């Protein structure tokens, strides 16, 4: 679900090479050695021991390495209190406070940094955003007008400074700033998009449409660009063209809630406004767009800085909240993701998807009861919402509550009046739940219905084909299905494993060995695949290699019920072909 929410949240996708340029944003770190060596190792406040510079510093480093922004910020603040003149500690404390969302404290550190390092990029950015929020656009423009430290900093400052000029009522000056922004190819969509937004805010509709058209040409997969372009076209008296743009995006990501809401508004004929209502929300859009792009490419700390500033400027920026929540998810901070998603306005088109993600996050926190209650409430509110139904069913399926997940999927299927290709997933999932309960007849019917709706789905081909092989049914058709799945996903180790294991079950051990060796190359860390390869090696007489693979499978952490079987094979070898449990045919590792 979060992948759905985040799939196209930013105007473009920054390349890793572009993000690498952002490393020049880092401030001097000469003081780091001094912070480490200034005194013996301390233990902070554990067990009532006194705070020490080195103890707080090392604790902050450790917290940072585990993506614990809150504790990293707190420990670095402690270290800074012990060594107030240390520029490295000041910089780290400021950045971490900003990334953690402690805006008031971060701004105080920003003022100190501004005095000591007048050209500090992030300090100027934070102070410029504060000035814009306080209605001081001239001061904001001054703070944002200096040079950056590389392409990302230059672009950020330029876009934000342009909005500051627009806040002063100087549209031409704002556009002039944008026209002078030259850099890598990924600049284009940001510059043209914000040119369109500024023109739109200034009431220059024709120029705004042209700016959005240029941005759309640069990146047709950008959600915000598509939304802004469609809105401008509709407001300019071109609703048919606007709906055409939205239909094109549907081919990339169908039924996105933001664009569905825009489509509904256009079709109603009601007045439609721009994405940005003011220069302040325009600056928030800058920070959101860049922050979301950086976060997708792995720059979590800097992405958090941008997104926290965006939400401070515009607390109703639902896309920024979703992006920040997604970042917390990737860091494994599910509580913080939940707290962020809960703040999304109930009127937002993203609210329901956010609520589904909250339910999934409770499950990630191993709180099955809360997850189930939360998702069930959403399903009860709207049983036809298949996103919520599938989320609930998937949680129950992952917990091996197969009768319950079957009932959940069935309730969703019962609401379908006409089947579409996208509905293959719910039949596929219900088929898994039924197969796990050994209800093979209904399970096969579901899997074949999924295949009928979407014939080229490797997951369905793999699951159905393997299940048939496992039961010795319709073997030629079953093998064809698995081979087709491998053709569609030749680099998927789990599906290649299915083909190898199917050959093994049919007694075709040489072919099994060949495929299972490929599967291990693709997924060397998987205990099931290594175990399968050990079995195949034993059958072809390569007994030393077989024991090696079984030992490797043992060390990779197999499921508790599989470990005794592996240990027995290590000790005694393989006396006969083991009976393959039907459940394995559709394990998560083979497509389930």
Residue 114 burial (C-beta neighbours within 10 Å; 0-12, 13-18, 19+): middle
* Domain-embedded: residue 394: no
Spatial contact of 375 and 356, defined as CB atoms under 8 Å apart = yes
* Domain-embedded: residue 119: no
Output the pLDDT for position 68: 86
- What are the counts of helices (DSSP H) followed by strands (DSSP E) for the chain? 33, 0
Q: How far apart are the C-alpha atoms of 338 and 569, rounded to whole Å?
A: 45
CATH of the domain at 581: 1.25.40.10
Nearest to 453 by CA among 430, 436, 487: 430
- For residue 559, give every residue at least 6 positions away whose Cβ sits within 8 Å of its Cβ, in sequence order, or none: 527
Spatial contact of 216 and 39, defined as CB atoms under 8 Å apart = no
Secondary structure (3-state) at 243 = helix
**What are the mean pLDDT values of the chain's consecutive 10-residue runs (592 residues total)?**
47 39 40 37 48 83 84 89 91 94 95 93 96 96 83 94 96 96 92 97 95 94 94 95 94 90 94 91 96 84 95 95 94 94 95 96 97 97 94 96 97 95 96 96 97 96 92 89 96 94 92 97 96 96 96 94 94 69 38 45
Spatial contact of 287 and 306, defined as CB atoms under 8 Å apart = yes
* Per-residue exposure over 295-324, b if at least 16 CB sit within 10 Å of its own CB, e if not: bbbebbbbbbbbbbbbbbbbeebbbbbbbb
Output the pLDDT for position 582: 34
Kindly report the backbone phi and psi dihedral angles of residue 421, in degrees, each rounded to the nearest multiple of 5, phi listed first. -55, -40
Q: What is the mean pLDDT of the chain?
A: 88
Structure tokens at 217: 């040409």
∠ CA 165-171-174, nearest 5°, is: 50
Q: How far apart are the C-alpha atoms of 479 and 529, rounded to whole Å?
A: 19
Kindly report the backbone phi and psi dihedral angles of residue 185, in degrees, each rounded to the nearest multiple of 5, phi listed first. -55, -35
- For residue 340, give every residue at least 6 positions away whose Cβ sits within 8 Å of its Cβ, in sequence order, or none: 321, 324, 325, 328
* Domain-embedded: residue 553: yes
Residue that the structure tokens 């501004």 belong to:
114
Spatial contact of 313 and 287, defined as CB atoms under 8 Å apart = yes
Output the pLDDT for position 35: 39
Output the pLDDT for position 49: 56
Q: How far apart are the C-alpha atoms of 214 and 212, rounded to whole Å?
A: 5
State which residues form the domain around 537.
473-590
Output the pLDDT for position 21: 37
**Total number of domains constituting the chain:** 1
Q: How far apart are the C-alpha atoms of 19 and 413, rounded to whole Å?
A: 44
> What is the sign, positive or negative, of the torsion defined by CA atoms of 152, 157, 162, 166?
positive
Nearest to 382 by CA among 418, 353, 403: 353
* Domain-embedded: residue 324: no
For helices 279-296 and 151-167, the axis angle rounded to 10 degrees is 160
* Domain-embedded: residue 534: yes
Spatial contact of 543 and 524, defined as CB atoms under 8 Å apart = no
Output the pLDDT for position 42: 37
Kindly report the backbone phi and psi dihedral angles of residue 93, in degrees, each rounded to the nearest multiple of 5, phi listed first. -65, -45
- For residue 108, give every residue at least 6 positions away whose Cβ sits within 8 Å of its Cβ, in sequence order, or none: none
Output the pLDDT for position 50: 67
* Domain-embedded: residue 566: yes
* Domain-embedded: residue 170: no
Spatial contact of 413 and 426, defined as CB atoms under 8 Å apart = yes
pLDDT in tens, 463-513: 999 999 888 888 889 999 999 999 999 999 999 999 999 999 889 999 999
Structure tokens at 494: 């789990």
* Domain-embedded: residue 530: yes
- For residue 518, give every residue at least 6 positions away whose Cβ sits within 8 Å of its Cβ, in sequence order, or none: 493, 496, 500
């Amino acid at each position: 679900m979060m992948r759905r929410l985040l799939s196209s949240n930013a105007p473009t996708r920054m390349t890793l090479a572009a993000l690498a340029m952002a490393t020049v944003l880092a401030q001097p770190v000469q003081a780091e050695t001094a912070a480490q060596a200034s005194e013996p190792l301390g233990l902070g406040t554990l067990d009532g021991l006194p705070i020490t510079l080195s103890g707080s510093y090392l604790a902050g480093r450790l917290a940072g390495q585990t993506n614990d922004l809150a504790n990293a910020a707190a420990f670095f603040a402690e270290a800074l209190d012990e060594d107030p003149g240390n520029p490295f500690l000041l910089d780290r404390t400021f950045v971490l406070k900003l990334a953690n969302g402690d805006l008031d404290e971060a701004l105080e550190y920003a003022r100190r940094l501004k005095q000591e390092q007048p050209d500090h990029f992030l300090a100027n950015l934070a102070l410029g955003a504060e000035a814009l929020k306080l209605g001081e656009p001239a001061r904001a423009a001054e703070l944002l007008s200096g040079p950056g430290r590389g392409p990302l900093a230059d672009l950020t400052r330029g876009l934000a400074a342009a909005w500051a000029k627009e806040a002063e009522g100087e549209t031409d000056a704002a556009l002039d700033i944008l026209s002078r922004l030259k850099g890598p190819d990924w600049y284009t969509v940001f510059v043209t998009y914000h040119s369109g937004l500024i023109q739109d805010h200034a009431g220059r509709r024709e120029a705004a449409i042209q700016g959005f058209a240029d941005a759309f040409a640069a990146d047709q997969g950008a959600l915000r660009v598509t939304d802004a372009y469609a809105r401008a076209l509709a407001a300019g008296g071109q609703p048919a063209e606007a709906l055409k743009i939205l239909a094109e995006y549907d081919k990339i990501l169908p039924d996105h809630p933001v664009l569905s809401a825009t489509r509904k508004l256009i079709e109603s004929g009601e007045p439609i406004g721009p994405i940005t209502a003011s220069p302040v929300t325009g600056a928030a859009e800058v920070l959101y767009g860049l922050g979301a792009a950086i976060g997708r490419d792995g720059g979590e700390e800097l992405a958090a800085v941008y997104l926290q500033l965006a939400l401070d400027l515009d607390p109703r920026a639902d896309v920024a909240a979703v992006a920040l929540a997604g970042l917390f998810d990737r860091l494994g901070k599910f509580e913080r993701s939940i707290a962020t998603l809960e703040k999304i306005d109930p009127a937002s088109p993203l609210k329901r998807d956010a609520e589904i993600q909250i339910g999934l996050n409770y499950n990630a926190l191993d709180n099955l009861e809360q997850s189930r209650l939360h998702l069930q409430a959403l399903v009860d509110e709207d049983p036809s919402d298949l996103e919520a139904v599938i989320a609930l069913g998937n949680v129950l399926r992952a917990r091996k509550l197969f009768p319950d997940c079957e009932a959940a999927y069935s309730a969703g299927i019962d609401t379908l009046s006409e089947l579409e290709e996208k509905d293959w997933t719910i039949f596929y999932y219900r088929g898994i739940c039924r197969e796990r309960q050994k209800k093979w007849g209904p399970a096969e019917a579901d899997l074949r219905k999924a295949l009928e709706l979407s014939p080229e789905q490797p997951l369905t081909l793999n699951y159905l084909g393997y299940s048939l092989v496992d039961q010795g049914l319709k073997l030629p058709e079953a093998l064809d299905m698995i081979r087709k799945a491998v053709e569609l996903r030749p680099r998927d180790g789990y599906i290649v494993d299915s083909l190898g294991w199917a050959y093994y079950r049919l007694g075709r051990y040489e072919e099994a060995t060949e495929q299972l060796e490929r599967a291990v190359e693709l997924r060397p860390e998987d205990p099931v695949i290594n175990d399968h390869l050990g079995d195949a090696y034993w059958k072809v007489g390569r007994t030393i290699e077989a024991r090696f693979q079984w030992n490797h499978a043992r060390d990779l952490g197999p499921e508790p019920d599989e470990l005794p079987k592996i240990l027995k094979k290590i000790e005694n070898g393989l006396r006969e072909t083991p009976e393959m449990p039907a459940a394995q045919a559709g394990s998560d590792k083979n497509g389930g």
